[in-house]
Structure formats: structure tokens, C-alpha cells
Structure 1
Amino acid sequence: MIRRQLIKETLENLGVITEEQLKEALRLQRESQMRFSEILVRLGFLTSENLSSILSSQLGIAPLALGNIQILPNALDSIPPSFAKRHRLIPLNFELDRLICATDNIFNFLAQENLELLLQREISLILVREDELEGVLEKYYGSKKEDLDSIVQEIDESEVSKSKEATLTLEEEAPIIRLVGLIIQEASKNRASDIHLEPLKDRFRVRYRIDGILHEVQSPPKSLQSSIISRIKIMSNLDIAEKRFPQDGRMKIKADERELDLRVSILPGMYGESIVLRLLDRTTLNIDELGFSKRELEEFERIIELPNGIVLVTGPTGSGKTTTLYAALNFINKPDKKLITIEDPVEYQLAGINQVQIKPQVGLTFANGLRSMLRQAPDILMVGEIRDFETAQIAIQAALTGHLIFSTLHTNDAPGAITRLIDMNVKPYLVASTVQAVLAQRLVRTICRECREAYQPTREEMAVLEIGAYAIGGISFYKGKGCSRCNHTGHRGRTGIFELLVLKDELRSLITSKASSTIIRDKARQFGFRTLREDGIEKIKSGITSIEEVVRITQPLVV
């Protein structure tokens, strides 16, 4: 009321609007939720520019053009976006310990006081035009888009929609639908690979896995836990009444004109069902975007175009094996070839490829599925994983009869995959005659290009990597100092590091004689074989990743 009365008296004293216009504006304000100043502009009694100029001059404040003011990124980061949009504030810059904010409502004393309590610093407000503020809010915070706070405030928990939609998009109107959509959309925007929705004793936690690291984000209230879980079950065609057993599903969603594939895993826990959503990014399915060096890429492309044999990809869970296999299949997927895969589960749905998901409960295992697939007269087969002797034996027989087989193993390095097959009781001469190559890989975070800076590595860092001073002449080393674009981690995005073991005749002879993986590795070096750590060191020298990342992910060099 102070604000409206002050505006009313100021305008009356200046005679810029008539008494009838003031009465009309007051009547409309009583009937609506709009601000008094907004009504004056909407009715055409004043322009926003005139109103801003009049009020600022009466209060002794010179009007400012927001477009001419530099907005500092660290100032923008100091206020939660939901607060800025709700109270129509744009943080501009710092003057000593004071934060300067632009607003079209300098009478918003409550917001000013709340912000001072939140940031524990003095806040100064400057008046700007409403239309300019709208443009800047939209640019930096997306003022026309919803945030979690605004949706939660709207939700009436007793009227949560649970209807099943034929087509699922992120623009549905029911609040819970939009809330779940927002969680997924923000994850996609932040390049997350997984969304973790975790019921805890006193809260419902949401975390995004970004570049392999979990980050906690703003979470909805605990009271909405059941509604959110039910919505996700509906979207992935799961049983919303089943809360005793784990469930797995998948969904497709449109967000920002993109179609996202999501794999859903639900696990019952002490405080409710925990959900993990895996976001599957189709844009990474190009073989030349995986991180191969030029030499490795040419060699790998040559191998996957061979007419027969076995190509293995090894590494721990989360090292990118499936992505590499899909990229290889995409590369060789041509109309004159028949490709069939058997997977657990099918992650990406690939056009032109027959994909099968194993179902052990009905007897469809990797071994049984592979046996049946061979009756389909395929050219190329992909087996999700060789887990036992039976699967390995069928894969080898398929390779011997003119098929190209792709599969994965869980071993630490490429030579270890050879001895792992032999440990499964596969005859060494069969391994030697069918395996064409083994690719071991890991994922390392890449240095953020926005904040990377050159530095001189310490002697300890060089010793850990076993790099001598002679090997770094003229090379610049980089690390990220952290910025808002990389969430102050110094890293943004990931790339692969690889060791590609191509079986030459000399190596096949060693395998037949049951040589150890160390002997196989030493012999492979004569043909240009490079270990994971050595490939990582090359990416360090190229400014792609950091020393700490390569040390974290790889084992010491073995000479």
C-alpha cells in the first residue's frame, strides 16, 4: 500500500494523469493481482519509460539504461534464479561488500531485506525500465520458463494427475507432470548422464551425474515423493502399484526440440523407491567423436570392416564400452549387411539393426540368444557381454564360420582380455585364430575451455606419470581453475582414452603357447601398442585433459 499510495500522490501532484484514470486503475487493481504501476502502463495512461523516469526523478535517482550496464557473471551466480525471477531482480556487480541489483520495483523492500539476510551483505537497488528488465531476465534466467519452486507452489497434492498419455512431452499442464519434466530437462541441459532420485529419511534427494561425478541439485519436497515416483512409472509403462520388487523400463521424451531416450531403474528401499534415470545421448554415436587419435581411428575402422573374427571392448562399468560398440555398429551399418544384437538391456534403439534383449527368466540368455541369432543368417553380431564359456564358445564358432562378432569383457586392460578367455577354458589356438583386436578404454573428464590456464606441473606430478623432463620440452600443461560454466570443477565433458591391441601373427603365436598378458603386452609394443596411461599422457600434452584425471583413471606404466 505504501508503494501504490506514493505512486498515486506523485502522479496526482504532477498532473500527468487524470482523477478518472487513477480511479479506473485503482478499480482494476482491486479486481486483479497486477501491480499498480503495471496497470497504469497496460491501460495506456503512461509508458513504462515515462513512469520510470517520473518516479526516479521524484526520488532523486537518475534513470539507468540496463543495456549499457556490464553484468558480471559472479554477480549473476550470487542469487538463486528462482529468487531473481520471483522478485524481478538482476544482480549487476559488486561495490566493495555491496551487491547492486536492477529492478523495475524499487519499492520492493521485503525482497531487498530477504536478500540481505540470504547473502549477508548490503543490497542496493537501481530502477530500470520494465521492458528492459524482462529482456535481461529472459536472457539470463529464462523468465518465461518454469522453475522447481514455482511448480511446487502450484501443486495441490490431493489432486495430482495420474492419467496415462499416449504422447509424452515436457509441456504437459498438470503440475507433477511439469515438475518431473523440469527435472529431466535440467539434467539434459546440464549434460547429465544419470538422474538419481533418492528417498532419504527426512527428504527426497535429487542428484545429477555430470562427467562421471554426482552433484546434488535443488530437490522437491519429501511430500511429493510418491507422486513423482508414480509419474515416472506411468511414463515408463511400469506398474505403479508394485512397490515390493525392482522394476526396469524405458521412455522417450521431447525436450527443447530434442528426443531423449531414458532407461529407468526402480529399486525399493527403506524410505521408498529409489529411481535412476539414464539419459542416452545419441549425439555421441559417431566413431570419430569418441576420442581416438588419428592413427587409432584409422586402425579401428579397418578392423571393424573385416569380414569375420571377434572384436572385444573391455573396461569397467561406466567406461563407455556400449557407446563405442554402438558407434562401431553405426559406422558399418549398411543396407547390404544384416546386423543383430543381443543385449542386457537394449540401451539405444538403432535404425536398421535387429536388437534383442535377454530374458533369463524365460531362458533367453546370451548363449541361447546367440545360438538362435545364427539361424537368422546375419553378417554381423553384437553380444552385450561374454560372461561364460558357453557364450564364448558359440561366439568363436560363429567367427570361424564367417561372421564378425562384437562383444565386451570386464578386464583392466587389452592383453588381459586374451587371458580371460583362456581362463574360461576356451582353447588358446581358438582365441588366437578368431580374435582380431581388443580395445580397452576409460573415460576422463576434459578441461573446461572457458577457464583453462597453463601451469607448470610439480616434480611430484611428473614422477607419478613417469614423464621425464626431456619429454616435455616446449609442451604447455593446462588445468581448469573453475567457472560457472563447468560448475567450478575445472572440467567440462568427457573423452575416451584407449589402448588398441591388434593381433599380429607374432602375437597369435604367443597366445597359442599360453603366454602371459605381460609378455603379450611387451611384444605388442614392438608394433606401436600404447597403454591407457600412455594415451592419457598424450591427451595431457594436447591440453585435452589434466594430470589429475589421468592419474585417477589409469594404472601406472608397466615397462
Structure 2
Amino acid sequence: MKKQIIEKRQAKRFRTRFICRYIIEGEKEIKTAPVENISAKGILLEVDNPLPIETRLALQLDFPPAHKTIFCKGRVVRVEEKMRLSKYGLGISFTEIDKNDQEIINNYIERMDIDKILRKAIELKASDVHFTTDLPPVVRIYGELKALGNTIYTSEDLKQIIYGILNPYQRIKFEKELELDCSYALPEGHRFRVNIHKQQGNIEAAFRIIPQKIPTIEELGLPVVVKELALKKSGFIIVTGPAGSGKSTTLAAMIELINQTSGEVIVTLEDPIEFLFTPKKSIIKQREIGIDTISFNNALKHVLRQDPDVILIGEMRDLESVSTALSAAETGHLVFTTLHTADTIQAVNRIIDMFPANQQAQVRLQLAECLRGVIGQLLFPRKDGQGLVVATEILIVTPAISSLIRQGQTQQIYALIQTGAQYGMRTMDMSLLELYRKGLVDYEVIIPYAKDPLVFKK
């Protein structure tokens, strides 16, 4: 996009859509154009023909929050050639505006400032922020939901707020698919994973706060065997658990360990990119689906030609991506991915069940040969209210477990996990019991997740 810029923007702009009528100084013709965004200092019009910088205009703004027409004056300070054919963006700076009308615009800007809401969520140490129609923003703090202020947002408010963080390609994709995963960053660097969706026809969003610093495996409270898995030279490693269980954070800690200790080429395929890595001993290429490549499958088709040692696949969503990932692991690459399953054994079964019956024997053979381990995890609020603590189930593929996978007897794996402490294995019950005995979690919080609740009464 070509731009002609005379004055640098000094005020934060908010995407909006309403009609502006304007008259060029010295002329009589009234022209009409839609307003694309507004700030406390001015507006951006979408026009068919550009005007010279410093052109003076008389403006009539049909600004919905004012419930009336705002009459003011402005001058052209910026001209942008739009991506759409024969359209231009005209940046207008207010030169004369009534004090009350300026206050209406200022209040609107204050109300629609999503960055202010997100900064407050970070200050409160929230993990998530929910924007829902006819409710104030709601944050999740250590698992509990809490309203953030008393400001109620209408369906139109949320549409304006949410569309304001999207680029044109993202808006087109959302309007086509009615679902969108993307990322958002504050100017100071805080990042968010964002899901935009519709609910009863209303556009709404959930923001997941991504820690600025990638935590270490030790800081996350993960067992030592997780570090050992991260430093494998080849094979297939799965992190599984429900949404919000910290899978992405665990993978980031494992990738960062490789980055700090080994010279590898690491390629990540993410939707969207969450943690940002700084190359240290390794080269890291982070590719975002929809921006750097069309799809997971498309990226996986070409990733082996990028000379990778380590491949991170944000999520395996279908048979084709699983098949490619297994092939990469078989050919000497270290492949990380995530699944949404209740435990480690279900993760193994999920992969096998993705394939038709006539291919499952081959898939079992591939898994038996290349699967190195599965990390299952859950997050629980700490008893002292100081954050969350992770509980893990660890499956390490020993020769005995490899044989069970090959023979299709995965139902017997649990017994080997129970007795596999020397390999670093543990069941979820073992992890929950350890957290409970250390006084880190409440009995009532963890007991619904126990396979054998009687263990906690012994």
C-alpha cells in the first residue's frame, strides 16, 4: 500500500463506520464518504478521489454515539492509496470542533479502547478476557470469572471493537468462515491469542494472555523427564489435555530449552503464533497459518525441504497432518504436537482411530517405532490463591509399551505407567496425590479428575 504522509499520527484510532458529508473550502458541492476510523484528533475517510494535503473541509459527521450530526472543520493531513482498486484513505485532522462534541468523541474513544481493558486484565494476572454482548468484559483469574468494571457493550460496540484489531484479510476470512483464530499485541509487547466467533448472531471474542517471558520447564513445575523428552534427537512427542491446560506453554518451554542448548533448525507451524522465540543457539522459523502459509497441511507438505531438525505442529487436525507428522518423525526429525484428549492413552488411540481400519495396523507400527512420549496435563488453582499449578500424566514409550501399541493392546498401557516410575512415568492420580499431600491444592478441586478417588483416602 502506497502512502503519502505529512503528519505522523499522534492519537490512537478506532475502526468505525458512519457517514460524513463534507464541502471543500471555496466550493458548494456536498460530497459524501464513509468514515473508516476515528480518533480524538480526527477521522479517516474512504474516498474515490484523493485531495491535496492541507485542503480545508467543512464536515458533517453522522456519529451514532452523539445521536445528532456533529458540525466541525478539518484539514487533509494524510492520503493513503487503499488496497482496493480506485479507493483512497483521507486523513482529516479536526481544526474547529465544539467542546461538547469533542467530549462525546473522547468518551467514545475511552469506551472503545480495548488496549486499556487488556492492560487491566494483565495487571490483575488474568489468564483470559471474554467480550460478550450486553455484558461488561469478564476476566478469568486463577480459574474464577470476574466482571471487569460496569461498562456494558452492545453487539454493535463489540463489532466495532473486534473488527478494529483485524486486518482486511482477517475480516474477509472471518466473514466467510464465521470463526477466526488470530493473535494481537499491545504496543508495549504483551501478546494475546484471540478467538473470534459468533453467538446468536453477535460477534464476540475470547483473549488468552500469553506470558511475555517463556517459562522454563522447572518454573512450570514439570517433571525432569519432560526435559529429557525435549532433548531427544528424533521421534514424536505429544502434549495433550483440555483447552486451557497449558499445552502451548509446555511446548514453548521445551522448544526454548532446545534453542538454548543445541544448534538446530526449528520450524514451528502455529495458528496463531503465540510465544515469540529469539534465536539463540538454534535457528527458529515461526510460521503462522493464514499469514505465512495457507494451511497446516500445505505447510507440512513443504516443511521437510526447509532442512528442519525440529518441527512443532500447533495442532494435528486431520488424517493428512497426522500422516505427514509421523513420516517426519520416522525420518529422523523431532516432532512436537498437541491433542485434546482426556489422558495419554487416549492420545495414542485418537491418532490410530483417525485412520481407516485397513490402515490402522500400519499406523500402530509407525507409532510403536517413532513415538517417544506423551505428556498429559491439567491446571488447578493453588490452595493459597497464588496462581495455578500443573498436574501431569507421563507416558514414556519403553520397549514393552511399544510392543503393546504395535499389537493394538493400548488398554494394558495404564498398568505399565503405574509401575514405570524408573522411566519417569506417572499416572494423573499420582500427580494429583503429590500436589494434595504437598498442600498445594484442595481435595474438592482435584477429586473429580481422579481415576481412583480411594487413593486419596489411604
With normalisation by structure 1, the TM-score equals 0.55
Report SS of the residue matched to 1:510. Answer: helix
8 A Cα contact 2:181 2:272, kept in partner: no
Question: What residue is the counterpart of 2:78 in the other structure?
Answer: none
2:185 alignment partner AA: K
Question: What residue is the counterpart of 1:187 in the other structure?
Answer: 121
Question: What residue is the counterpart of 1:93 in the other structure?
Answer: none
2:264 alignment partner AA: K
Cα offset, 1:514, TM superposition: 1.6
- The counterpart of 1:530, out of the listed 426, 433, 454, is 426
Q: CA RMSD in A?
A: 3.2
- The counterpart of 1:443, out of the listed 364, 373, 379, is 379
Tell me which protein shows more strand as a share of its residues: 2
- The counterpart of 2:325, out of the listed 395, 398, 401, is 395
* CA pair 220-370 structure 1, distance change in 2 beyond 3 A: same
Question: What residue is the counterpart of 1:252 in the other structure?
Answer: 185
| Unaligned stretches of 5+ residues in structure 1 | 1-155, 165-172, 449-490
Q: Counterparts of 1:476-515 in structure 2 under 5 Å?
A: 491-515=385-409
8 A Cα contact 1:177 1:231, kept in partner: no
1:522-552 CA-to-partner distances (Å, cap 9, x unmatched) read 1232221321122011011112111112124
Tell me which protein shows more helix as a share of its residues: 1
Cα offset, 1:331, TM superposition: 1.1
- The counterpart of 2:446, out of the listed 534, 542, 550, is 550
Report SS of the residue matched to 1:195. Answer: strand
Percent of aligned pairs with the same amino acid: 28
Question: What residue is the counterpart of 1:414 in the other structure?
Answer: 344
8 A Cα contact 1:233 1:240, kept in partner: no
Cα offset, 1:420, TM superposition: 2.5
Who wins on radius of gyration, i.e. which is larger? 1
2:266 alignment partner AA: L
8 A Cα contact 1:176 1:228, kept in partner: no
Report SS of the residue matched to 1:182. Answer: helix
Matched, 1:338 2:271: no
Question: What residue is the counterpart of 1:368 in the other structure?
Answer: 298
Question: What residue is the counterpart of 2:100 in the other structure?
Answer: none
Q: Counterparts of 1:7-406 in structure 2 under 5 Å?
A: 157-158=65-66, 174-179=106-111, 180=113, 181-200=115-134, 204-222=135-153, 226-227=156-157, 229-237=159-167, 245-254=178-187, 259-270=189-200, 272-283=202-213, 285-292=215-222, 296-297=223-224, 299-334=225-260, 336-352=263-279, 353-359=284-290, 364-406=294-336
1:57-97 CA-to-partner distances (Å, cap 9, x unmatched) read xxxxxxxxxxxxxxxxxxxxxxxxxxxxxxxxxxxxxxxxx
Q: Distance in 2 between matches of 1:514 and 1:240?
A: 43
Q: Distance in 2 between matches of 1:250 and 1:389?
A: 26
Cα offset, 1:439, TM superposition: 0.5
1:325-381 CA-to-partner distances (Å, cap 9, x unmatched) read 111111111472110011222222322321223349x99332332121111010000
8 A Cα contact 1:533 1:550, kept in partner: no
Report SS of the residue matched to 2:164. Answer: helix
1:374-421 CA-to-partner distances (Å, cap 9, x unmatched) read 110100001122233322222222112110000112221112222222
8 A Cα contact 1:284 1:290, kept in partner: no
| Unaligned stretches of 5+ residues in structure 2 | 1-63, 71-89, 92-104, 355-359
Cα offset, 1:246, TM superposition: 4.7
* CA pair 241-365 structure 1, distance change in 2 beyond 3 A: closer
Report SS of the residue matched to 1:333. Answer: helix
Q: Distance in 1 between matches of 2:208 and 2:399?
A: 42
* CA pair 226-416 structure 1, distance change in 2 beyond 3 A: closer
1:527 alignment partner AA: G
Q: Distance in 1 between matches of 2:171 and 2:334?
A: 44
Cα offset, 1:229, TM superposition: 4.5
Q: Distance in 1 between matches of 2:450 and 2:180?
A: 34
8 A Cα contact 2:139 2:147, kept in partner: yes
Question: What residue is the counterpart of 1:483 in the other structure?
Answer: none
* CA pair 550-499 structure 1, distance change in 2 beyond 3 A: same
Q: Distance in 2 between matches of 1:410 and 1:240?
A: 26
Cα offset, 1:311, TM superposition: 0.7
- The counterpart of 1:541, out of the listed 432, 437, 440, is 437
* CA pair 241-416 structure 1, distance change in 2 beyond 3 A: closer
8 A Cα contact 1:234 1:240, kept in partner: no
8 A Cα contact 2:158 2:204, kept in partner: no
Report SS of the residue matched to 1:185. Answer: helix
Cα offset, 1:502, TM superposition: 0.9
Q: Distance in 2 between matches of 1:367 and 1:206?
A: 36
Q: Distance in 2 between matches of 1:514 and 1:259?
A: 48
Q: Distance in 2 between matches of 1:394 and 1:267?
A: 30
Q: Distance in 2 between matches of 1:315 and 1:525?
A: 19
Cα offset, 1:430, TM superposition: 1.4
8 A Cα contact 1:338 1:378, kept in partner: yes
